[in-house]
Structure 1
C-alpha cells in the first residue's frame, strides 16, 4: 500500500516558499504521493445567504495542475488530484493540462475526477450543474482518446472534437483516471469506468457495501475488479497509534493507496503540519529499509 499526504490547501497559505518546503519535506519523510483538492472560486456568504458549503470565498485553494507543475520540478512525489471537478472544466483543456503535468513529472500524475457540489462554481465557469453526471462519462472517454491518439474525431452529446489532437502526448497513455465516489450511482460509475476510486468513509460495513457495488459494476462491464485501485484516507487526530490502527484497517480492507490528512487538526503553520507528518511517518515505518 502506497502512502501519501493530503496537501493542506486551506491552511498552507499563498507563500510559494511554504509550498516548496512542504513538498520537499514530505518526500524526505518517505511519503510517496501528494493529493490536492480542487476549487476554482469560492462563494461569498454575504451574497449567497444561508451558504452552508465547507468552503467559501475566504478559503485558500491552489490550482492543482499549476501546483503540480511546480512540485514536479521540486520532488519525485506522485501527483494526485482528489478530485478535479471535471464537468465544470473544458475537457480538452483538462486533457492538455494533465498531459503536460504527466510529461513534466515523467509519468507521475494520477487524475482523480468527480462531480462536485458547488452550483456557484459551475455558474462561474459557464457549465451546467444539472447534467454533470451524464457529462463526466463522456468526458472520461474523450480524455482517454486525446491522451492516446494523435488526431481524433469525437461527436458526443456534450463534447465535439473534429480532426484534432494534443502534442505532446503524455508519458502515460492513458493517464490513470480515478473517481471520487460517495453514492451508489457513483460507485457503479467507478466500477464501469475508473482505474481506481476514493471512498468517502472509513473501513467497516459501509465501505464493504460500497466496494461490493464497485466490484459488481466492474464485473458486469467485463472488467476484473482486482485491477481497480482504492485509496483510503486517515485524518490526523494527534495520536500516531490511532493513525497506525486505521492504516492497518485500510490495508486489511484492500486499499492500494492511503493519504494522511492533516487539515482541520488545528496545526496552524506549515511546520505544524510537517511535525505531525513526521510523527505519522515514524509510526508507519516510512523511509525505512
Structure 2
C-alpha cells in the first residue's frame, strides 16, 4: 500500500520555504504522494439559505493546487502529486486539461488528477458556474479533458462545450490518471463509468462498504474491480493505535493508497480530535510519527 500525506494547506502558511521543507520531508520519509485540497474561495457561513455546512470559511488558506504542484515539482524528485479533489465543474475543462498537463510535464509524470463536484454553492456562483447542473457538466468535462490530452487537435461539440479544431501543447506524455472523490451514490456511479481510481476522505467499516459497492458498480460496467485504485484517509488526531488498525483494515480490503491528514480544521469538523500542530517542524514530526507507526 502506498502512503500519502495531505498538505495542511489551512495551517502551513504562505512561506514558500515552509512548503518546500514539508514536501521534501515527506519525500525523504518515504511517502509516495502528496494530496492537496481545492477551494478557490472561502465564504462566510452565517445567514445562508440553504445552510452553509462545510468545514472551511473565509479565514482558511488554500494554496491553488496546480500552481502549488508546479512549484513542488521543482523542489522534489520522486514524490507524486494528487488533487484530492479539484472541484471540476466550477472550472473550465480546457484550462484544467492544460494545467494538469503542465504539472505532469514539469514533474516528469508524477501527477494524478482527482476531481469531484464539491459542496460549496457560493463558490460556484462566484465563479459563474451552474450548481444545479454540475453532475452532467462534470461527465462532459472528463470527455473533453481526455480528448485534449490524447489529440493534437480536437473538434468537439456538446451541450456544454464547443472546441473548433483546437488543442493544447504541450500535451502529457501519457493519459494522466483521473480519480474521483465523494460519498454519494452518484459519485460512485460516475467513478465506475469514467474513473481510474477513487479517493475517500475517510476510512473504516463505512468506507470499506462504499468501496465494496463501487466494486459492484465497476463489475456492472464490465470493468475489472481488481485494476481500480482506492485510497483511504485518516486524521492524525485519532492516534497511532487507530491509524495502524485503519491502515491494516484498508490494506485487507484491497485499498492501494492511504493518506494521513494532520490538519486540525478538517479533523475537528469530522468529529475527530484535533492534531493541534502549530509549526512546520511539528507537521513534519507528525509525518514521521505516522509513517514509523504504520510501516
Report the TM-score when normalising by structure 1. Answer: 0.94
The structural deviation recorded for 1:79 is 0.3
* Residues 213 and 243 of structure 1, relative CA distance in 2, 3 Å threshold: closer
Q: What pairs with 1:123-142 in structure 2 (closer than 5 Å)? A: 123-142=125-144
Q: What pairs with 1:246-285 in structure 2 (closer than 5 Å)? A: 246-264=246-264, 265-285=275-295
Maintained 8 Å contact 1:188/1:213:
no
Aligned counterpart in structure 2 of residue 96 of structure 1, from 84, 95, 98: 98
| SS, match of residue 130 in structure 1 | coil
- Asked if residue 241 in structure 1 is aligned to residue 241 in structure 2, the reply is yes
- Asked if residue 209 in structure 1 is aligned to residue 219 in structure 2, the reply is no
The structural deviation recorded for 1:171 is 2.3
Deviations 1:225-245 (A, max 9, x none): 111100010111263232122
Corresponding residue for residue 219 of structure 1: 219
Query: Structure 2: where are the runs of 5+ without partners?
Result: 265-274
For residues 190 and 45 of structure 2, the distance between their equivalents in structure 1, rounded to whole angstroms, comes to 33
Query: Structure 1: where are the runs of 5+ without partners?
Result: none
| SS, match of residue 44 in structure 1 | coil
* Residues 32 and 200 of structure 1, relative CA distance in 2, 3 Å threshold: closer
For residues 4 and 169 of structure 1, the distance between their equivalents in structure 2, rounded to whole angstroms, comes to 27
Corresponding residue for residue 21 of structure 2: 21
The structural deviation recorded for 1:202 is 2.1
RMSD: 1.5
The structural deviation recorded for 1:247 is 0.8
For residues 246 and 222 of structure 2, the distance between their equivalents in structure 1, rounded to whole angstroms, comes to 32
The structural deviation recorded for 1:28 is 1.0
For residues 72 and 175 of structure 1, the distance between their equivalents in structure 2, rounded to whole angstroms, comes to 16
Aligned counterpart in structure 2 of residue 117 of structure 1, from 102, 119, 144: 119
Deviations 1:3-54 (A, max 9, x none): 0100001111111111111101111111110000000011134675864431
Deviations 1:241-283 (A, max 9, x none): 3212211111011110111111111111111111111111222
| SS, match of residue 222 in structure 2 | coil
Report the TM-score when normalising by structure 2. Answer: 0.92
Q: Which moved more, 1:102-111 or 1:163-172?
A: 163-172
Q: What pairs with 1:149-168 in structure 2 (closer than 5 Å)? A: 149-168=151-170
- Asked if residue 197 in structure 1 is aligned to residue 198 in structure 2, the reply is yes
Maintained 8 Å contact 1:238/1:276:
no
For residues 51 and 246 of structure 1, the distance between their equivalents in structure 2, rounded to whole angstroms, comes to 30
| SS, match of residue 223 in structure 2 | coil
Maintained 8 Å contact 2:43/2:122:
yes
Aligned length in residues:
283
For residues 46 and 13 of structure 2, the distance between their equivalents in structure 1, rounded to whole angstroms, comes to 23
Maintained 8 Å contact 1:184/1:213:
no
Maintained 8 Å contact 1:102/1:109:
yes
For residues 30 and 209 of structure 1, the distance between their equivalents in structure 2, rounded to whole angstroms, comes to 29
